[in-house]
Amino acid sequence: MGQPPDQNVCNGLFAWLVDKGTLAGRNVGGLKVVSVSHHEGNRANARQQVAVFVDGPNEVLDDATLGLVVRIFSGQGGGPLGGLLGQLVNGPSPDGNCDLGARVRRSITIEPRPHGGFDVQVTQPGQRELVDVTTTALIGERGLPMQIGESALSRTLGAPVTIGRTDRFSLYVPGFSPELWLDLDLQARSATTGAFRYDADGGYGAEDADAGAAHSTG
């Protein structure tokens, strides 16, 4: 809600599932993107650190398109995400020994749950699960999901958004740099889900992108 986080620290997850869209002339329907972020203090004054993970077919995500996807979903492309995310910590390694694909390509599952919740998993062969998050929508007195329309996240994810809680919020992100190493296993934190549309007018160069997005924090 735009307030400083509890204990002055926020560890968050964004997950995007693209239903349909084009990017740089390529069909990116089915693209899945997850970012894990960390910041201290109020989001409005913080510079977040972000690790972005991408899952999509190789014939769509060539090196140039993959780089554009990472640029957009880390906030480097401006638009609605420009002031929301932050410093990318898993870009190509400075020494050139590890390319972008090796650092961002992962297996991602994003499954909708009833009434607006999501199951999100990010895995890498041979390692423990990097992300395991399950959210449940909060239901009001009339049996409908609770929604909000005016907040920074609702404008980004597509207002109105459904608010909820995390039944599980497990993040394990080995350090791509000394500043980022998350190992969390929490419950009952905040979650927000909605449907978004990002287009060329938003500064992305995407002709059409409609999707479901989820945000959770711990």
pLDDT (tens, 9 = 90+) of the chain, 218 residues, equals 667 777 888 888 999 999 988 988 889 999 999 999 887 777 666 678 889 999 998 888 999 999 999 999 988 888 778 767 778 889 887 776 678 999 999 999 999 887 678 999 999 988 889 999 999 999 999 998 898 887 766 666 777 888 899 999 999 988 776 666 789 999 998 898 888 888 765 444 444 444 555 666 65
pLDDT at 123 (0 to 100): 96
Model pTM score = 0.87
pLDDT at 3: 72
Largest CA distance in the chain: 57
Report the pLDDT value the prediction gives residue 141, as an integer from 0 to 100.
92
pLDDT at 207: 40
